[in-house]
Amino acid sequence: MLFKENILSWYETHKRILPFRDIQNPYYTWLSEIMLQQTQVDTVIPYFEKWIKTFPTLNDVALASQHDVLKQWEGLGYYSRCRNFHKAAHIVMNEHDGIIPSNYDKFLSLPGVGPYTAAAVMSIAFNKPIPTIDGNIRRVTSRILGRKKMRQNAQARIKNYLQIEIDPLRPGDFNQALMDLGSSICTPTKPKCNQCPVNEICIALGSGNPESYPEKMKKKKSPHYNVAAGLIWDRDKFFIQKRSEKSLLGGLWEFPGGKVEKGESLKMALKREIFEECKIKPTIHRKVGVVKHVFSHFSIEMNLFHCSINGEKPKTDLPSQWIKPNEIAQYPFPAANHKLFKILDQDGWNI
Ligand code: DGT
């Protein structure tokens, strides 16, 4: 049975129609691959479409401010992807005459580009026979080869197999066919093996229990933090600051606050955090609300309190602003803050 022929002819009739596919534009391919890291296709599509309307070329990305690119990325999460893409756009404009490198190593050296993204862009946009190995493709191949344990030698075996099988004339289609096969047929649970174009050679299917391939890794329990933050008012404006570039959610705007430490009440933590960050002791009023948000490695419960200043002005090392509620749309905020804005819109913004 001809593996690549079957995979490619299945792709012809079953491929997902996506706005960044079948368009020879390396900028689109690169952007979509970055957006698709840790994010589902359905979530990415509207962001991708809005982004390319705002920034039709990579040069438009390079010319935009970090604030403006983060505003377009707002809600998509993992914001370092956006900051790195922005930095990489500058490098392409300044050091590569505005041309996205078609050399694997040169492209790999750009910020935010790892081996997976480099392989995807090289194969899809530049027709280079480099296999991509993401979670879907690893699962498909481990089943075909009957590799249950994902030890280093199994990973190497997968890579070798794909390197041999990849179609040198249509490497991008080959990689995308395997991605689509993994997401629609060779799914983690209940794979639809009777519809699979390569079921005849699948060792995992032959074993009678394809779902058990590859062996699932035990997930570490992720920590949960209680966070207290302050909506600090001075008349009709409240205080926001920009999170430091190096922190999680870097470059987004936030309310002063932070994690509750052991033995602290929410209000004690809030007082401490505001004093540490802004050197003021505001009066804490009623709670606006509490919202939950799950990140990749931990989750938070964020408690927001109305606060008012007592004649003191916050002193912070971070860029800061006093804004009115109707100005929030001008700033990129984390998703948890948007959940709190919804509560404020419903219950009223006044203390
Ligand atoms: P540390 O000690 O560096 O781990 O951090 P903390 O405890 O000073 O605080 P921070 O700000 O890193 O932790 C708060 C978490 O809540 C963090 O994951 C970001 C998230 N978050 C989302 N929206 C906001 C906000 O408006 N204000 C604050 N402070 N945190 C926010």
Same domain, yes or no, for 130 and 279? no
For residue 167, pLDDT over 90 is answered with yes
Q: Which atom of ligand 1 is nearest to the CA of 240?
A: 26
Q: Are 141 and 182 in contact (CB under 8 A)?
A: no
Closest C-alpha residue for ligand 1 atom 14: 258
* 75 shares a domain with 176: yes
- The percentage of the chain sitting over the pLDDT mark of 70, rounded to a whole number, equals 100
Distance, CA of 63 to chain centre: 23
- Mean per-residue pLDDT, 325-349: 97
**336, 262: one domain:** yes
Q: Confidence class of residue 1 from pLDDT cuts 50, 70 and 90?
A: low
In terms of domains, do 85 and 204 share one? yes
Q: List, in sequence order, every beta strand (DSSP E) within the chain.
A: 224-234, 237-242, 253-254, 257-259, 283-294, 299-308, 320-323
On whether residue 266 sits in a domain, the answer given is yes
Is any atom of ligand 1 closer than 6 Å to the C-beta of 288? no
Angle, helices 41-54 vs 66-73, to 10°: value is: 140
Q: From the CB of 259, is ligand 1 less than 6 Å away? A: yes
Domain count, the chain: 2
Query: Is there an atom of ligand 1 within 6 Å of 336 CB?
Result: yes
Nearest CA to ligand 1 atom 6: 258
Has residue 242 been placed in a domain?
Answer: yes
- Give the tens place of pLDDT for each residue, 304-333: 999 999 999 999 999 999 999 999 999 999
Q: Give yes or no: residues 154 and 47 share one domain.
A: yes
**At 28, is the pLDDT very low, low, confident or very high (cuts 50, 70, 90)?**
very high
Ligand 1 proximity of 158 Cβ (cutoff 6 Å): no
List helix spans (H) across 15-134.
26-36, 41-54, 58-63, 66-73, 80-95, 104-108, 115-126
The pLDDT assigned to 351 comes to 86
Question: Are 172 and 98 in the same domain?
Answer: yes
Average pLDDT over residues 329-347: 98
Question: Does ligand 1 lie within 6 Å of residue 258's CB atom?
Answer: yes
Distance (angstroms) between ligand 1 centre and the Cα of 86 equals 24
Q: What is the pLDDT of residues 99-154, one digit of tens each?
A: 999 999 999 999 999 999 999 999 999 999 999 999 999 999 999 999 999 888 88
Determine whether the shortest distance from the Cβ of 79 to ligand 1 is under 6 A. no
Establish if 301 belongs to a structural domain. Answer: yes
The protein residue with its alpha carbon nearest to ligand 1, atom 30, reads 258
d(CA 26, CA 102): 9
Q: Are residues 145 and 290 in the same domain?
A: no
Choosing from 33, 74, 273, 277, the catalytic residue is: 33
Residue 336 has pLDDT above 60, yes or no: yes
The pTM of the full predicted model, rounded to 2 decimals, is 0.91
Query: Do 94 and 153 belong to one domain?
Result: yes
Is residue 300 within 6 Å of ligand 1 at its C-beta? yes
Q: Whose CA is nearest to atom 8 of ligand 1?
A: 258
* 151 in a structural domain: yes
Q: Are residues 115 and 37 in the same domain?
A: yes
In a domain, 307, yes or no: yes
Q: Residue 125: which CATH number? A: 1.10.340.30
Q: Does 230 map to a domain?
A: yes
Cα of 260 from ligand 1 centre, angstroms:
10
What is the average pLDDT score of the chain?
Answer: 96
Q: How many CB atoms lie within 10 A of CB 292?
A: 11
Mean pLDDT of the region 198-218:
94
Give residue 43's pLDDT: 97
Instruction: Examine the fold and report which residue of 163, 178, 212 is the final residue of a domain before the chain moves on.
Output: 212
Q: Which of 172, 189, 212 is the last residue of a domain?
A: 212
Read off the pLDDT of each residue in 178-196 and give the average, rounded to a whole number. Answer: 97
| CATH number, domain with residue 298 | 3.90.79.10
Boundaries of domain holding 245: 224-347
pLDDT digits (tens, 9 = 90+) for 251-272: 999 999 999 999 999 999 999 9
- Within-domain flag for 218: no
33 classed as catalytic? yes
> Across the chain, which distance is largest between two alpha carbons, in Å?
79
Q: What is the pLDDT of residue 320?
A: 98
Tell whether 69 and 193 lie within a shared domain: yes
Q: How far apart are CA 89 and CA 59, in angstroms?
A: 7
Q: Please report whether residue 219 resides in a domain.
A: no
Tens digits of residue pLDDT in 14-24: 999 999 998 99
Q: How far apart are CA 351 and CA 348, in angstroms?
A: 8
Write down which residue in 184, 212, 240 finishes a domain. 212
Please tell me the distance from the alpha carbon of residue 216 to that of residue 34, in angstroms, as a whole number.
Answer: 25
Residue 228 and residue 185 share a domain:
no
pLDDT value at position 332?
98
198 & 266 share domain: no
pLDDT of residue 78: 95
pLDDT at 64 over 60: yes
